[in-house]
Structure 1
Amino acid sequence: MKPIVVDAFGGDHAPKEIILGAFLAAKEFNLDIVLVGKRHEIEKSIEIISKDFSSNLAQRITIKDAPTVITMFDKPSVAVRKRNSSMHVGMELVKHDEASAFISAGNSGAVMAIAMMVLGKLKGVSRPAIGALLPTINGSVLLLDAGANVDCKPIHLLEFSIMGSVFIKHMLGIQKPKIGLISNGSEPGKGNSLVIKSYDLIKSSALNFYGNIEGNEIFSDKVDVAVCDGFVGNIILKTSESVPSIIGEFLKAQISKSLVYKIGYLLSKPAFRMLKKKTDYAEFGGAPLLGVNGACIVSHGRSKAYAIKNAILKAAKFASLDINTKIEEAIEKCSALKYIQRGVENAI
């Protein structure tokens, strides 16, 4: 496999934690990594970090110089003009087949915009989307779109459903992923105009469509892919990310009030550790940018080494399974169902 490109200057803890994550991935998964960013600063960090690893491992880490950093405050329209940024230079490596995948914990809007410009869209895809894996009772659910497209049409939600189904089938091994459409009611006919039209469209496809799901059903294992526009998806994502920390703070405050509570906490500590691990975004590594012509993973801005390591693993698996080719094939197959004959011309 060609190397995985990592934006060494994306995220709150760049470059040290990003580089450490690259070393961990190279060691654990036997992968080659290209770190993109300011060469001098990367070299200084590598000099310190590599002391804890074998000299042979350091040979699996190479550097691609990129003097400009895209900040979290840069608008996408500004970011795309920074041609010598770590994001832009890194994606160019993927575009020219010098690397298998690209990862960044930086500005997600900038990643999306630069990916659209440099990598382009997959054949048949009109709107790439961010897919966020969220924990459920017994597994996980792919939330799609998690923030790339705040305004959508029914045809876009059908595309998200197809891409999500392919991703889950091959990445998680679920042969017939169930697709759920997020709405304010489970009955057909509930929801706004977008949801109502999308319901009929997705139902008429060959996908394993479960139907509408409400917000309280997203984490219940009823579906494998939860589909919505990026406005709704991003609110769900940000809200769900805040819940574990709020519960943790609440428990800390209550436990400190009673000796009995403290003893109970000590006895239950393994269970709390398991809960924390299951709900920790670092376990998922990052969110795939589905629909762009290249493997691209967007990691959380707060990602540290462990999260970056897992993102690299996800990117490597995405590339090795050739998910993008499978998405194109699924889109093409669905296109053969004759959208226009099913009255979809107004949805495009």
Structure 2
Amino acid sequence: MSESRPITVGVDGMGGDDGPGVIVEGALLALRELSQETRVALIGDQRTLEAEVRRLDPSGSAGSRLLIEHAAESVGMGEDAATATRRKKDSSLAIGTRLIKEGRLDALFSAGNTGAMVAASLLNVGRIPGVLRPALATRIPAETPSGSCVILDVGATADCKPAYLAQFAVMGDIYARSALGVANPRIGLLNIGEEPSKGNELAREAHALLARAPIQFVGNVEGRDFFRGQADVVVTDGFTGNVVLKFLESVLGWTGRLLKDEVRTSLIARLGALMLLPSLSNLRRRLDYAEVGGAPLLGVAGACIVGHGRSSPRAVKNGLKAGASFVAQNINEQIQAALGKEMAEHVG
């Protein structure tokens, strides 16, 4: 895709825990930072979205760069993903993914039901030729040269075969090169020990495949290695990855609350915190998921970005920017080149 071509990024206007107002505010923030050629399309109930746009942008500064696509239905956070995808053909997710397939959208961001986003993407957009299964890739802070570690899969494919993990590794390698600027990413396989013989059958067979893949495979990594920078990319199945991600979120949140409690214990602690405020602010930014915005669904034939259900306007803004960057960096084209039919047959 040519970088000069205008990009249109869609957003599920009805997704997330906090209602359309947060989504619209995030979209307006994104338009201020994206190039003037980039447009944002709000997808959802037209009356609701128009009312939020009037409230948040009374001067109409967004102009023709902010579009609205009506969707008569929406998928709730607690709905069964497969059932909702089959039955709600006019949901904001269904329409958004169909618009990608039709070429009217270049990317789609949703802070709504993750399972429904994955299902709608697979149904309406489809997989990149040669890709066996998709993977959600997210970033966490780590002691790596880029300051981040990519983990995939974190929830798209719960039940995996060794060949899926081998492809996740190749897709993670491409994503780390493009999104993080890592020249030669170190790829690790999440396991319960460093030796190739450790772990279950899936881990042992995947280890053998990754060792032959066209990547810099550094072997098995353990849970303690995430923050230590042992790898730039960590590969695992979607079930394990999702558990790991939510555990890390809880630990980081608890650590932040613990630090606040300690600061309140004395005047000296408060004065010390005041002196450390710039460093603490930088630390908070590094640990805040809103800085990343969302996790790309690697392997589908479109730029589909999944955000946190509790996404703030800033997280929505960064999720939309991530979608635009994903398109501009031609990540899907790189994945298709690396995982053509020949490689799919080889690892399968």
TM-score range, shorter chain: over 0.9
Aligned-residue offset at 1:241: 0.9
Q: Which one-letter code corresponds to 1:131 in the other structure? A: A
* Whole-angstrom distance in 2 between the partners of 1:98 and 1:150: 31
- Candidates 121, 128, 152, aligned match of 2:134: 128
Q: Which one-letter code corresponds to 2:113 in the other structure? A: N
* Whole-angstrom distance in 2 between the partners of 1:37 and 1:226: 35
Check if 1:39 corresponds to 2:39: no
- Aligned position for 1:65: 70
* Whole-angstrom distance in 1 between the partners of 2:158 and 2:62: 43
Q: Give the 3 Å change call, closer, same or farther, for CA 334–213 of structure 1 in structure 2.
A: farther
- Aligned position for 1:192: 200
* Whole-angstrom distance in 1 between the partners of 2:246 and 2:292: 15
- Aligned position for 1:217: 225
SS at match of 1:59: helix
1:223-250 CA-to-partner distances (Å, cap 9, x unmatched) read 1110001111001100111122211221
- Aligned position for 1:6: 11
Q: Give the 3 Å change call, closer, same or farther, for CA 334–283 of structure 1 in structure 2.
A: farther
Check if 1:55 corresponds to 2:55: no
Aligned-residue offset at 1:266: 1.7
- TM-score normalised by structure 1 residue count: 0.94
Contact 2:54 2:60 survives alignment (8 Å): no
Q: Give the 3 Å change call, closer, same or farther, for CA 92–333 of structure 1 in structure 2.
A: closer
Aligned-residue offset at 1:188: 2.0
- Aligned position for 1:330: 338
SS at match of 1:174: coil
1:307-340 CA-to-partner distances (Å, cap 9, x unmatched) read 111111110011122211110111128718x73x
Q: Which one-letter code corresponds to 1:123 in the other structure? A: P
Contact 1:7 1:103 survives alignment (8 Å): yes
- Aligned position for 1:158: 166
- Candidates 289, 300, 325, aligned match of 1:317: 325
SS at match of 1:293: coil
* Whole-angstrom distance in 1 between the partners of 2:310 and 2:97: 21
* Whole-angstrom distance in 2 between the partners of 1:154 and 1:55: 52
- Aligned position for 2:3: none
SS at match of 2:137: strand
- Aligned position for 1:94: 100
Q: Number of matched residues?
A: 338
Contact 1:182 1:228 survives alignment (8 Å): yes
- Aligned position for 1:266: 274
- Aligned position for 2:88: 82
* Whole-angstrom distance in 2 between the partners of 1:7 and 1:255: 39
Contact 1:285 1:310 survives alignment (8 Å): yes
SS at match of 1:134: strand
* Whole-angstrom distance in 2 between the partners of 1:91 and 1:231: 24
SS at match of 1:158: helix
Q: Which one-letter code corresponds to 2:98 in the other structure? A: E
Contact 1:50 1:58 survives alignment (8 Å): no
SS at match of 2:332: helix
Contact 1:244 1:276 survives alignment (8 Å): no
Aligned-residue offset at 1:56: 4.3
- Candidates 294, 297, 309, aligned match of 1:289: 297
Q: How does 1:107-118 map to 2 (within 5 A)?
A: 107-118=113-124
* Structure 2, unaligned runs of 5 or more: 1-5
* Whole-angstrom distance in 2 between the partners of 1:333 and 1:214: 32
RMSD: 1.5
Aligned-residue offset at 1:171: 1.9
Q: Which one-letter code corresponds to 1:73 in the other structure? A: G
